[in-house]
Every structure is written in structure tokens, then in C-alpha cells.
Amino acid sequence: MLDAGMHFTETSQEQAEKVVNQLVKDGKARRKDSEELVQQLVRRGRKATEQMVSTVQAEISKQMGKFAGRLDDIESRVEELAQRAGGREATDATDVVRIITLVGQEAGWRRHLVQAREPPRYRQGFRAE
């Protein structure tokens, strides 16, 4: 990660130097001011990058918080449905699929939910390679 950051800094330094050299060549900047202009461009680039990273991190944290809250809600609902189903633990994949289907229906999922069915049976002679 640090290497990537250093590479980005070197690249942006090179890009800033190219821009400033072109400005000097075009007569829009003085040669004696070129080093300061390069440093200003690099500082602005770093600041913009830091702000973008901060914004992205904040959004990710916000979304993860929402996701964790929804996951807690679903977990509570699954526990409630399992208790309503007789207070017993799910004994096989079929019970788990039924519970997930009920939770999904109550949550208003619009996509097709898997119907509770027996787990798939494997054919004789099947080998994983």
C-alpha cells in the first residue's frame, strides 16, 4: 500500500513537472517560479487524494453500518422464526432453506426464493477432480 502511495506521488510529481515545463515553454510561467509551481500542484493533488480517500472511507463505514444493522435484524428474525417452528434447531438443509424463505418473504424480497426441497443427491461414481 505504501509502495502504491509512493508510486502515485512520484507519478504526480512527474506529471506536475511536465505541466509546468510546458507552461514555461509557452511563456505562461517563469523558469524561476517553476519549482514552486510544481510543489503547489503536487500539494493540491495530495490534498484532493486525501479528501477523496476520506470520503470513500466514510461512505464504506456508513454502508457497512447499515449492512450490519440489516444482518442483525435478519438474524433476530431467523431466531424468532426458528422458535415459532417448534423451538427446535434446524436439523438439516431443508429446515434452513424454509427459514430463509420465510425471512425473505417477510422482508419483501422480490427475487425468486428457493423452494424448500431435499438436498441434492450425488450420482454414483461422481468424482471431484
> Where do the H-state alpha helices sit in the chain?
2-25, 34-84, 93-107
2-30 pLDDT, tens digit each = 455 445 555 688 888 888 888 888 888 88
Neighbouring CB atoms inside 10 A of 17's CB total 16
C-alpha cell at 69: 444493522
Give whole-number Cα distances, 62 to 59, 71, 80, 98, in Å: 5, 14, 27, 31
Query: What average pLDDT does the segment 92-118 reach?
Result: 57
State the pLDDT at residue 122. Answer: 46
Using CA atoms, how far apart are residues 99 and 38, in angstroms rounded to an integer? 62
Residue with cell 461414481: 125
> Which residues are within 8 A (CB) of 7 and not within 5 positions of it... i.e. 6 or more apart?
none
Q: How confident is the model at residue 55 (pLDDT cuts 50, 70, 90)?
A: very high
Please, which residues have CB within 8 angstroms of residue 113's CB and are 6 or more apart in sequence? 100, 101, 104, 105
pLDDT (tens digit, 9 = 90+) per residue, 81-98?
777 776 555 556 666 666
DSSP state of 85: T
